[in-house]
Amino acid sequence: MKNILKPTLGMQVATAATSSLLLAASPPAWAQSTAGTCEIALGYAAVALSPVGTPAAVPGLTLLGVGVLGVLFAAIAWRGRQKSGLNRLMSVTLMASGAVLSVAGSDSLLNVVRAAGPYEFTSSTGGSISDAQVPYADPAPVLTVTNTSGGRIKITSNGNASETGTCTVNAELAPGASCTTQAFACTPPPPVIQQIEVQSLPAQDCDYGTVIGSYDMGGINSVTAYLPLLVTPPTFDVSSVTVTSAYTRNATQAIFGPGGSIPNANDLITGTLSVTATAPTGYGFGVSLADSFTWGLPYTCGTIAVKPQLPEEP
């Protein structure tokens, strides 16, 4: 036969206080980030209860049990026939002592609140927890996972093969207990790129002391091609930009026509001087923040000589 204890005013107050603590312990929403992410992935299952008849250890009386007894005695005293001020004071004292002892116990609600985190094992039949949007950190963040399923659970899988926390495979958690897991597969956020400003443009000229091609077949034309030069490199608001140059000729082989003429003489002395600027780490060119930028400078470096023609003899 069971004795049912009806709630009294003191018990209602204690229940309200406990509900407030549980609300305060509710976990926040999962944080998400687009700057860079890590992952967590845990699987868990319910732990089967011991078969009926299997001997089990008898727990001793803890501080929590003492607190419960205190509340029971207070309720009995409150309902007592004698209404003296001493009895009421004793009842209030016992209820307060029970509340303090229950919170101070080793398996207390206060300890669960301290261990609570943003992730929870919520299903009483098992399941999984995964989040691929854990905000990036270096080293990888360590996160707390709390068992709110109401039953005992066991960790069955962990995506982090090098787990440094306590959420290891086969670890068991009692209701309200917590474990920690270190995030994995962390991808750093993209670096912040600053745009480079061009302060002056490049300029080219010809080195008439360096011949890169000479063409003369004894006909009416002779062509001499000279080396194109970058005489004024571009300048930038960042001093560590690297600048290189290279030229491409429109033609490198002469075409000889009738009488020793060279029809492609102009192509032999013209071309494009390419000037390429390469940005240092953390910088880029233009709106697209490209790693490099190239100017194409057309050039003409050379001479075309036309030999005088002797009059034909009558």
For the whole model, what pTM was predicted? 0.46
Among 9-18, 116-125, 213-222, 303-312, where is mean pLDDT lowest?
9-18
b/e per residue 222-248 (b: at least 16 CB within 10 A) = bbbbbbbbbeebbbbebeebeeebebe
Question: What length does the chain have?
Answer: 314
Give helix 85-104 / helix 63-78 axis angle, nearest 10°: 160
Q: Measure Cα distances from 287 to 194, 276, 284, 291 in Å.
A: 10, 17, 9, 11
Q: Of 1-5, 53-57, 60-64, 130-134, which has the strongest mean pLDDT?
A: 130-134
Mean pLDDT score across all residues of the chain = 78
pLDDT at 170 over 50: yes
Closest by alpha carbon to 46, among 150, 152, 119? 152
Of residues 64 and 291, more confidence is placed in 291
Which pLDDT belongs to residue 83?
53
Which pLDDT belongs to residue 48?
86
Of residues 107 and 173, more confidence is placed in 173
**Band of residue 310 on the pLDDT scale cut at 50, 70, 90:** low
pLDDT at 155 over 90: yes
Alpha-carbon distance of 39 to 51, in angstroms, equals 38
Of residues 4 and 114, more confidence is placed in 4
**Band of residue 131 on the pLDDT scale cut at 50, 70, 90:** very high
pLDDT, tens digit (0-9, with 9 covering 90-100), for 63-107: 556 566 666 666 666 565 555 555 555 555 555 555 444 444 443
Of residues 307 and 83, more confidence is placed in 307
Find the mean pLDDT for residues 45-58. Answer: 66
Alpha-carbon distance of 2 to 303, in angstroms, equals 118
**Band of residue 50 on the pLDDT scale cut at 50, 70, 90:** low
Find the mean pLDDT for residues 40-59. Answer: 73
Q: Which residues pair with 82 in a beta bridge?
A: none
Which pLDDT belongs to residue 182?
95
pLDDT, tens digit (0-9, with 9 covering 90-100), for 240-261: 999 999 999 999 999 988 877 8
Exposure on the CB side of residue 130, measured as CA atoms within 13 A: 9
pLDDT, tens digit (0-9, with 9 covering 90-100), for 232-243: 999 999 989 999
Q: Measure Cα distances from 148 to 22, 116, 125 in Å.
A: 11, 10, 12
pLDDT at 43 over 90: yes
